[in-house]
Amino acid sequence: MLFGTLSAMFLKRTLCTALFSCVALLSAFAQDQGARTEIEEALKSRYRLTTVGGGVMGVRGENSIRKTGGVVVLVRDGLYGSYNRRDLASNAIVDGKAEVRSGAKDLALARGEKFYVTAAYVGSDLVFLGLLSARMIPGNTKTAQVWCSVSFFFSKDMLDQGDTGKIYSVIDQWLLPEGTNHPASASSPPLASTPPAAITSAPATPTNGIDLKPGMTREQIVNALGAPLQDTAFADRRWLTYPGITVTFEQGKLTSVERNAQALVPVKISSDPSGADVFLDGSFVSSTPAVLRLQAGTYKLAVKMSGYADWEREVKILPGAEVTLDARLSK
């Protein structure tokens, strides 16, 4: 009887210990996944991914660009690209050194070359970026768009901490967002809550009542809708981005008009003095002067420079708005 009682107590204690261990492991896993998910979302916001492939509204082929995003500039030699997307060069950056681990090494990529970011993924020990050249690059046998991927390897602890500033500082040694003046600095403590910044709203009217028809030229579209938020060209294609729509041209003629699920709002940020670091929801995104393109929502913005007090605001962005912020830093 006594033996049975002791056995039951031991089994109960063992089960409780195992249960607590499982709960602790699941909690730690959830925290790690949460940090990596936040990093991934920050990367997608920073680089504004380009959408490739699909067959909607006149855009055909798996290599076709459906919607353009941000551009990054290669600042170091050592990466390779492939003309064939199915055999793209997979570059790995480990301790600051680059190597190609798989795929075709069709072309050594030169510093200064520009790329669209087509994918961003955060694993347990790496940050992965998919890249597509922003122009047709000539090689020994052909001239075409170039594909590659770059995997930046980090310690698991760094990724679990979710410190995007440190992660950006590594990536920026190879790929800088176009218009960025210097590599990212480390991120900072959470921002304090402050009153919302004033916003001047401009209602979005995607077509201004104009019937857009296939065959229209860029000049006709601009005359009808005004200057676009973004004007991007690649080979014989061109995209004009307006609040709510993206207009696609092929060989100078309108081929499709695609409604954006949610138009990006331009947020212009300047500072006095200029060259300060801009943080969005605690993550470094650019340096002043900067233009961020964000979805409607509420964000915490901070502008920081060594030797000056931090400038912090909570900004509510409305669809169709145009936001201008001037951060005057004080010592």
**Cα-to-chain-centroid distance, residue 202:** 26
Residue pair 79/109 in contact (Cβ under 8 Å)? The answer is yes
Distance CA 228, CA 213 (A): 18
Residue 150 confidence (pLDDT): 94
Residue 117 confidence (pLDDT): 92
Distance CA 19, CA 12 (A): 10
Residue 30 confidence (pLDDT): 42
Q: 131: buried, middle or exposed (CB in 10 Å: 19+, 13-18, 0-12)?
A: buried
Per-residue buried b or exposed e for 240-251, using 16+ beta carbons within 10 Å of the residue's own CB: bbbbbbbbbbee
Q: Which amino acid is present at 323?
A: V
Whole-model pTM above 0.75? no
pLDDT string in tens for the chain (331-residue length): 544 554 555 555 655 555 544 444 444 444 456 677 888 888 888 888 888 865 544 444 566 677 777 889 898 889 999 998 888 899 999 988 999 999 999 999 988 889 999 899 888 888 999 999 988 888 887 888 899 999 999 888 888 887 788 888 889 889 988 876 544 433 333 333 333 333 333 334 456 566 788 888 988 888 888 888 777 766 677 878 777 777 888 888 988 887 665 556 778 888 988 888 888 888 777 778 887 777 778 888 999 988 899 999 998 887 667 788 899 999 8
Distance CA 66, CA 257 (A): 11
Distance CA 151, CA 210 (A): 45
Residue pair 50/68 in contact (Cβ under 8 Å)? The answer is yes
∠ CA 128-167-165, rounded to 5°: 140
Residue 151 confidence (pLDDT): 93
Taking residue 221's Cβ as centre, other Cβ atoms within 10 Å add up to: 20
Taking residue 4's Cβ as centre, other Cβ atoms within 10 Å add up to: 8
Q: Where do the domains of the chain lie, and which CATH numbers do they carry?
A: 52-177 (no CATH), 218-259 (no CATH), 263-328 (2.60.40.1120)
Order of strands, edge to edge, in the sheet holding 253-259?
A: 230-234, 237-242, 245-250, 253-259
